[in-house]
Structure 1
Amino acid sequence: MLALAVFVSTLDVFIVNIAVPAIQADFKHSTVADVSWVLAAYAIVFAAFLVPVGKLGDVIGRRRVFAVGLAAFGLGSALCAVSPSLSFLIGARILQGAGAAAVTPTSLGLLLPSIPPQRRAASIGAWAALGAVGAASGPPLGGILTQVGWHWIFIVNIPLVVIALIGTYRVLPEIRDPDRPPLPDGIGTLVLVAAVSLAALGLVQGSSWNWDGRVIGCFVGAIVLTAGFVARSRRHRAPVLELGIVRVPAFALSSLSAALFYGAFAAMLLGNVLFLTGVWHYSVLVAGLALTPGPIMAAMFAPFAGKFVHRVGPGLVGGVGALLFGSGSGMAVLLIGTDPTYWSRFFPAMLIGGMGVGLAMPAFTIAATSTLAPQKLATGIGAQTMFRQIGSTLGVAAFVAILGTPTKATVIHDYNNTRWFIISSAAAAALALALIRHRRPSAAPTAGNVAATPKSTEGASAQPGQ
């Protein structure tokens, strides 16, 4: 149930990318910038609600929050499938994102107490790898479903959610923190949503607004709200972001790297979909299948990332992965033009990039948690996942801003500009990871001995049937 729920919630961050052309065609007079909010709305709410709902699970019960999140995700999926307008679809995606945010941290909080300490590092790696595979599987699966109708990328979630909900109450015990921690910061959550939304709005609308005072106002507003968010996080008893963990160098660097990498990754997915369908004129189904080699390579390499990290450290493994991923876009800049050359040029680039995704994504989670105290483990994972989704949101927004409205004469130049953005972000992610020092298990805590039961699970009661 936990694996199924995490896979579906992560899959939906990226499966909609492949359906963007179909959604745009279905809702007349909409632009890529308009439809990009279908992606951004989900990611922003997902990011902002992750930590608060995780803490809420500690207060009222993780299984309860997990189940409510599943139900909200399923309801949001149903509403997406019957959306009569683009604005309605965006609103339904907000509900979906809130449900996914409830599922992700509570799933790990329900998993870890049942895993022996010596196996928790491997479990965290597998949990992160599952998210990587779910994220990378979005385009090919979405291509198949969108061929029938874009509504099916949401309909398919409903039976899976029902199965997971039934299993949740039959198998999983209830777990909560017996110390009854304070309720999470709701106002801080809304401030974070507003800050990221304003930044994304400024980027997405920059071209159509001619980068005038409205865009500057969005950016200034985002900066002011971010400062207010940080100030509130310093004062609140249960902040959205515990600033203390950001002061841990490995966590700060890995979170920065994850945000940069996920920004590049989200831009790459959307860019490849639009390029294949709009420039090479592939059908949505063919485009989805054309992107399949990347997820396959990610699925093959992700399970090995944890083993490599234990030997040489997350900085090296994740850094190499980020560079490989960037190299895939570099190959696209050098080799790909307006004439379809899939097998000789696009296919090799997908293989290289997919290898990088498989190595990088699990390394981020392990790097973030390897030097945190045991009681900060769950909080750290939730916070880093938040940074990932913020990175994805801003990556898509930056892609839309850089691409603009290509003409036939400028289309390759414009797409190459977006690829240079991807390359630069991936390289910056690799640099941030390279600054993380690897420590042997005997010298300092590693993912294996730090990944102990979080404070919120110590002494927690397991009460089946509650």
Structure 2
Amino acid sequence: MSELASEPVAQQDSVGEPPGRRARSFGAAFLLVAAGVAMSNLDQFIVNVALPQIGDRLGHESLSSVSWVLNAYAVLFGALLVPAGNLADRFGARGVYLGGIAGFTVASLACALAPNVWLLVVFRAVQAVGAAAMVPASLGVLLAATPPEKRLTAIRGWTAISGAAAALGPALGGVLTEAGWRWVFLINVPIGLAVLVAGPALLPKAPARTGTRLPDLPGAALVTAAIGLLSLAVVKGSDWGWTSAAVLGSLAACVVLLALFVAWCSRAVTPVLPLSLLRIRPFAAASLANLLFAVPFAAMLLSSVLWAETVWHWSAMRTGLAVAPGPLMVPLLAAKGGPLVTRFGPARVTAAGCVVFAAGIGWWIATMRATADYPAAMLPGMLLTGIGVGLTLPTLIGAAVTSVPPDRFATGSAVVSMARQVGAVLGVAGLVAILARAGDPEHVFRQGWWLIVATTLVTAVVYLVVARRPAAAG
């Protein structure tokens, strides 16, 4: 990590803020950057708790329709991370960061005022564009304000914000949803305005790279459309029929668009997915496992919320507090997992994390019943899944990012994040497709949990095989 952090930022010393001023502005810059990164990450978790109330209050929409409130955000956020990073390099990180904050804040207000689900989905997509601009630019802004000797600490603090947001998301979402689901989005408005007011004066200018090319928007459009069509086919499979022309046509169009996307990325100068990175075996293996693990992770989070609110009929606040112990385990284990990776290697630690995660879901399969019994049923499963995520996700992200050359650190991070968002979309879509079936809730949820167990164990096996497979000669 130290080499990855030092080379790109060393280039900024000659053209960025003076060292003395950078040191003085570090605290304020970190606070303003943390606000934006926390907002973008909270929004991925906080809305889960509000989802049942959103569907109920906006015309009693079905779960398959309301799920697009999650998926629209995840698809666009993941697809635009790399292009947004290119924009930050070309035009300067501070301007792109503040522009992302402005777009995210306005879209949050629009989400809070949305009169129906489908306008809410549109505004969520705009939110995702703002979030995608914020996240990669925020690191450039932070490094420009950080003295060289503190940059590794700053990067660790920057990455820890995501874990803290994941831990706080369910509980905060429950509290806000009790006051009304619109507060889930309104909470972003004062934070965004505060950053926009203070940012121009307190955030340093990160150097722009005048030779950087324009971002790959056609590639982003292709992958967004492909993943959107795949999600549509999975979510609507039960309603339309898995062999219907609509489902088969959506899947066929997805395959065609993905083929076009790969062909485009092989020719584009600054592609959304740099194919050269996939030739680095540790990066490719960890990114694939990251995508696969995001499927059960996203499905687990949504299933726990839906079970508590629809089967046990708990309030949003009680549900948020009930779900919180699992995510709270993630930052704790992320901080302690480094020695394990050093001793046993990322593949074994990831496999162990997947097994623990699957054990948590297995506990739910064995103990969760319609009669609420949180201490003996949901809580042990939440803790086990939290331990599994804490061992797996930081390990996969670290294995991917530390395997790329220093000058590709930002792009590699964005590709890993994109893989995780694509997996989350597929996880939500798969769970929704199962829960949309009519039948006894216990039986239907148990089917979803068996799918989560299966995809988790597949992740472990695939990563063990691909990571340890010897590279081809040359």
Q: TM-score, normalised by structure 2?
A: 0.87
Query: Are residues 1:421 and 2:458 paired?
Result: no
1:106-141: CA deviations, max 9, x gaps? 122333455577866665444333213323432221
Query: Are residues 1:175 and 2:206 paired?
Result: yes
Once structures 1 and 2 are overlaid, which stretch shifts more, 398-407 or 304-313? 304-313
1:342 partner amino acid:
Y
Query: Are residues 1:355 and 2:387 paired?
Result: yes
- Structure 2 contact 265–273 (Cα < 8 Å) conserved: yes
SS in 2 for 1:208: helix
In the TM superposition, 1:249-268 aligns within 5 A as 249-268=281-300
Once structures 1 and 2 are overlaid, which stretch shifts more, 33-42 or 281-290? 281-290
2:445 partner amino acid:
Y
Query: Are residues 1:372 and 2:404 paired?
Result: yes
- Structure 1 contact 233–242 (Cα < 8 Å) conserved: yes
Match of residue 81 from structure 1: 112
- Structure 1 contact 128–361 (Cα < 8 Å) conserved: no
Instruction: Tell me the distance in 2 between the aligned counterparts of 1:359 and 1:103.
Output: 27
Counterpart among 362, 366, 370 of residue 334 in structure 1:
366
Instruction: Tell me the distance in 2 between the aligned counterparts of 1:375 and 1:356.
Output: 31
TM-aligned CA deviation for residue 197 of structure 1: 0.6
Instruction: Tell me the distance in 1 between the aligned counterparts of 2:160 and 2:443.
Output: 34
- Structure 1 contact 185–238 (Cα < 8 Å) conserved: yes
Once structures 1 and 2 are overlaid, which stretch shifts more, 225-234 or 156-165? 156-165
TM-aligned CA deviation for residue 4 of structure 1: 2.1
Counterpart among 320, 325, 328 of residue 288 in structure 1:
320
Match of residue 471 from structure 2: none
Match of residue 130 from structure 2: 99
- Structure 1 contact 251–369 (Cα < 8 Å) conserved: yes
Instruction: Tell me the distance in 2 between the aligned counterparts of 1:331 and 1:242.
Output: 40
1:272–1:35: structure 2 CA closer, same or farther, 3 Å change rule? same
Query: Are residues 1:151 and 2:151 paired?
Result: no
Instruction: Tell me the distance in 1 between the aligned counterparts of 2:196 and 2:466.
Output: 40
Instruction: Tell me the distance in 1 between the aligned counterparts of 2:190 and 2:287.
Output: 34
TM-aligned CA deviation for residue 316 of structure 1: 3.1
Counterpart among 286, 299, 311 of residue 279 in structure 1:
311
2:123 partner amino acid:
A
Instruction: Tell me the distance in 1 between the aligned counterparts of 2:209 and 2:133.
Output: 20
Instruction: Tell me the distance in 2 between the aligned counterparts of 1:287 and 1:427.
Output: 27
Q: TM-score, normalised by structure 1?
A: 0.89
Instruction: Tell me the distance in 2 between the aligned counterparts of 1:170 and 1:305.
Output: 38
Q: How many residues align?
A: 436
Q: How large is the RMSD of aligned CA atoms in angstroms?
A: 2.0
Instruction: Tell me the distance in 2 between the aligned counterparts of 1:111 and 1:429.
Output: 34
TM-aligned CA deviation for residue 291 of structure 1: 0.9
Match of residue 411 from structure 1: 441
- Structure 2 contact 91–209 (Cα < 8 Å) conserved: no
- Structure 1 contact 79–92 (Cα < 8 Å) conserved: yes
1:177–1:202: structure 2 CA closer, same or farther, 3 Å change rule? same
Counterpart among 253, 257, 266 of residue 221 in structure 1:
253
Counterpart among 327, 352, 357 of residue 320 in structure 1:
352
TM-aligned CA deviation for residue 229 of structure 1: 0.6
Counterpart among 404, 410, 414 of residue 382 in structure 1:
414
Bigger helix fraction: 2
Query: Are residues 1:50 and 2:104 paired?
Result: no
Match of residue 200 from structure 1: 231
Instruction: Tell me the distance in 2 between the aligned counterparts of 1:110 and 1:339.
Output: 51
Query: Are residues 1:230 and 2:262 paired?
Result: yes
SS in 1 for 2:431: helix
1:282–1:199: structure 2 CA closer, same or farther, 3 Å change rule? same
- Structure 2 contact 176–184 (Cα < 8 Å) conserved: yes
